[in-house]
Chain A
Amino acid sequence: MHIFEFIRPTDPAAAIAAAAQSKTAQQGADVRFMGGGTTLIDLMKLNVETPDRVLDINRLSLDKIEDTADGGLKIGATVRNSDLANHPKVQKDYLVLSQAILNGASAQIRNMATVGGNLLQRTRCVYFRDTAMSCNKREPGSGCPAITGHNRTLAILGTSEHCIATNPSDMCVAMAALEATIHVQGSKGSRVVSFGDFHLLPGNTPHRETVLEPGDLITHVTLPPPVVGSKQLYLKLRDRASYEFALASAAVMLTIASGRITHARVALGGVGTKPWRSPEAETALAGKPANDATFRQAAEAALRNAKAQSENKFKIELARRCLTYALKMASMS
């Protein structure tokens, strides 16, 4: 591990001021905020992350879950995943988020991982994680050995010729479906970013994963007021029964009236280079009868633009089945 200075800022402003000195907030940042450490320490051990300064933000009182004035929920950036998943309001009104989190990682990691950290979770692509390998995300321009190598678990949506790395988060898939808003404080003040705008597609710049700039501190996430009568489900498919990243997952929210779908939100995980909201699927569902044919059509629509690599063609059909079944089970719930 690269040697670093460990700093515990006393307030967010000090943290932001210290972080603003970093050259970048993206890959290669020389100042990093430390939340649960589950991603950052892992990558620091691998020398994928080599910050000179580590800012411990765990004692900045960003760990509250509060109701918002409009009936939504405000979730502090250092709220632990397990606290969020087990929060009564989340379990009642945002079940898909609770399920997504509880399907991720292990109980220990969920006790450590923070909401803010989970928004910034890095890909599990084995080439990204090994500094002996080339990787456009880690070292822009060095090449992508995954495209001609081991890519079974990698992305089929949102890929580019430079990067096919999957976003591994479960929580983010639910937040994409829930249309969460991310609140950021930076050296130029605070701003809000809608969930769909937060993560970037790899394109020609796979090292840029989010819109964050140096000094930007995620302070909290807000969820809009719950959709009345929304049937929610998170379904995750993987090789083993637990403690594994998704091969395909789906977060779905359906409101059904008189057998017709009046409101639908769909996001996919394990298949996209970012948490994959699917407006195509939502369009295919809106106003349609809640039946198997509609669900399958939505799944077809969601995967229409999928592009397989040498080892992961199966993920297209797996994701279709995942979404079809999630919609079916949600509609019956």
Chain B
Amino acid sequence: MSNDDLKSQPADPTRRKFLLTSGSGVAASLVVGYVPALARDAAGEVDLAPTAEGPNIEGAVPITLRINGREHSLRIDPRTTLLDCIRETVTLTGTKKGCDHGQCGACTVHVNGKRVLSCLNLALMHDGEEITTVEGLGTPDAMHPMQAAFLACDAYQCGYCTSGQIMSAVALLKEPCGTDDASVKELMSGNICRCGAYSNIVAAIQQVRKNV
């Protein structure tokens, strides 16, 4: 059982959510020498500071990113994409790298409420802007309606494209889009699901749109 499970676990076992261990804690102690991954806090972030010596980044520049309502004052290599910055520096790994060239949609996040590809953005371009990642939409105990619809409709398989799909789907709610499935499918075509869960993705989005 991972640390975050322990933290988030309500006292009443009958109300407890499904437990899924992430490789640390009890199971980790089975093998000597195992290095556990660091626990994530409620915002989904990891504190790398305690033992990290801090990467040696020559020419690093300061930047303040506002992600999911939290300010992050960072020093980064100017080459760092918004995607790599969110994942590796801010440690929010819900946003995924699938192609790194704007060809799959897995890295979709919102900047000032609009969906963009974080792999084709430099982090420096977004100093001070409002960035939202999948972690900012909801948590397992308090899901965004789109997250809940994806769960109910089985709108994924492996789950790797799912963050990007959901970020696109949530943005789509505010975009000009016809009511029919074909319009949704066209506007969701920038998010590749190699597992092919497209029918269920459309069903989830339409379910949310009907209720909005």
Question: Do A and B have CB atoms closer than 8 angstroms in the complex?
Answer: yes
Residues of A within 8 A of B (CB): 1, 3-6, 34, 36-38, 41-42, 45, 54, 56, 58, 82, 86, 105-109, 111-112, 241-243
| B116 at the binding interface (Cβ < 8 Å) | yes
**Contact yes or no, B187 A107, CB < 8 A:** yes
Cβ < 8 Å to A, chain B residues 171-203: 171-172, 175-176, 185-187, 189-192
The contact string, 1 if C-beta is below 8 Å from chain A, for chain B 161-179, is 0000000100110011000
**Contact yes or no, A111 B115, CB < 8 A:** yes
Given contacts A4-B78, A37-B125, A108-B115, 19 further A-B contacts (CB under 8 A): A38-B117, A38-B120, A41-B120, A45-B101, A56-B125, A106-B105, A107-B168, A107-B187, A108-B105, A109-B117, A109-B190, A112-B116, A112-B120, A112-B121, A241-B189, A242-B185, A242-B189, A243-B189, A243-B190
Residues of B within 8 A of A (CB): 59, 61, 78-79, 81, 100-102, 105, 108, 114-117, 120-122, 124-125, 168, 171-172, 175-176, 185-187, 189-192
CB contacts (< 8 Å) of B61 on chain A: these are 6
Shortest distance from the beta carbon of B209 to any chain A beta carbon, whole Å: 15
CB contacts (< 8 Å) of B120 on chain A: these are 36-38, 41-42, 109, 112
CB nearest to B172 among chain A residues: A107
> Looking at chain B's contact residues, is the secondary structure mostly helix, strand, loop, or mixed?
mixed
Shortest distance from the beta carbon of B111 to any chain A beta carbon, whole Å: 8
Closest 6 pairs between A and B when the two form their complex, measured CB to CB: A106-B190, A242-B189, A6-B78, A1-B79, A243-B189, A111-B114
* CA of A58 to CA of B191, assembled, Å: 26
**Contact yes or no, B114 A45, CB < 8 A:** no
Shortest distance from the beta carbon of B167 to any chain A beta carbon, whole Å: 9
Shortest distance from the beta carbon of A86 to any chain B beta carbon, whole Å: 6
* CA of A82 to CA of B102, assembled, Å: 16
Q: A38-B120, A86-B176 are in contact. Are A109 and B102 (CB under 8 A)?
A: yes
**Contact yes or no, A4 B190, CB < 8 A:** no
**16 contacts across the A-B interface (CB closer than 8 A):** A4-B79, A6-B78, A6-B124, A36-B120, A37-B122, A38-B102, A38-B120, A41-B121, A42-B120, A54-B122, A56-B125, A82-B175, A107-B190, A108-B105, A112-B117, A243-B192
* CA of A175 to CA of B171, assembled, Å: 28
CB contacts (< 8 Å) of A112 on chain B: these are 116-117, 120-121
* CA of A222 to CA of B101, assembled, Å: 31
* CA of A54 to CA of B185, assembled, Å: 36
CB contacts (< 8 Å) of B175 on chain A: these are 82, 107
Shortest distance from the beta carbon of A52 to any chain B beta carbon, whole Å: 11
Shortest distance from the beta carbon of B16 to any chain A beta carbon, whole Å: 37
**Contact yes or no, A34 B78, CB < 8 A:** no
* CA of A38 to CA of B118, assembled, Å: 10
* CA of A325 to CA of B176, assembled, Å: 27
* CA of A94 to CA of B167, assembled, Å: 30
Greatest chain B CB density within 10 A among A4, A34, A111 is at: A111
* CA of A109 to CA of B125, assembled, Å: 16
* CA of A6 to CA of B126, assembled, Å: 12
Task: Report which of A34, A105, A242 forms a contact with B125, defined as CB distance below 8 A.
Answer: A34
